[in-house]
Structure 1
Amino acid sequence: MNLASDLMNWALIAAFAAIGVAQIMAMIRLIIGPDTGDRILALDTMVVNAIGLIVLLGIAHGTGIYFEASLIIAMLGFVSTVSYARFVLRGDIIE
């Protein structure tokens, strides 16, 4: 193995660890969040962290299918965050 490959492996390990810690911290905020808005933001942060983990998996495995899956999850996460926030604020999703 060469130096570039070793650096890439260490960078992937560090990125997985950082996003894993961020996911755990968002989960803690989801559980103990004092307000509903904090919980909504924690869920949105967890979706963003999950997208990051999926992209890192795609980089680690060297395939492009993970990137397409992350785009689909990003769209679903955005729509679900907006609809949940609208439900909390107005009590109705569809006007």
Structure 2
Amino acid sequence: MSFLEFSDSVLDWSLSIALAMLGVAFVLTITRIYKGPTLPDRVLGLDLLTASSIGFIAIIGIDTGFTLYVDVAIALGLVGFLATVSFARFIMVRGDTERSPVQETQETEQRHIRKPIGNHEVLR
């Protein structure tokens, strides 16, 4: 086995391992976006999703040898940055970042449950 064949096999294994690790990061990021619990957590998850997508594009670009993927990754990075800035501005204008939208719906549902008080039912 020559050095060129050895380096080629190491590159293939490295790319496969990197794709697997990015796939795990992608799945964990999607679960963080789904679970929340707050809006800033979801925005950070979307930012990390953009970063891992850039990693996928870079690895595919290295594997195929096309330099066009670098331009696509740069464009995605710029769009992801602008999206993060706009989400941050939205959060600052909105103000309330500690409550989750899912938690708000559960609280409103619990407020309208009839609970008996003595012999009478009262709508809370």
TM-score normalised over the length of structure 1: 0.92
Q: How far off its partner does 1:40 sit?
A: 0.4
Which residue number corresponds to residue 9 of structure 1?
12
> How far apart in 1 are the matches of 2:26 and 2:36?
15
Counting aligned pairs with the same residue, the percent is 33
Higher helix share: 1
Higher strand share: 2
Which residue number corresponds to residue 85 of structure 1?
88
TM-score normalised over the length of structure 2: 0.71
1:65 counterpart letter in structure 2 = L
Q: Which has the larger radius of gyration?
A: 2
> How far apart in 2 are the matches of 1:55 and 1:22?
15
Q: Which consecutive aligned stretches of 4+ in structure 1 deviate over 3 angstroms post-superposition?
A: none
Kindly indicate whether residue 34 of structure 2 is the aligned counterpart of residue 31 of structure 1. yes
Count of residues in Structure 1 that have an aligned counterpart in Structure 2: 91
Kindly indicate whether residue 61 of structure 2 is the aligned counterpart of residue 63 of structure 1. no
Q: How far off its partner does 1:26 sit?
A: 0.5
1:82 counterpart letter in structure 2 = V
Q: How far off its partner does 1:58 sit?
A: 0.2
> How far apart in 2 are the matches of 1:78 and 1:52?
15
**What SS class does the counterpart of residue 66 from structure 2 fall into?**
coil
Q: How far off its partner does 1:89 sit?
A: 1.6
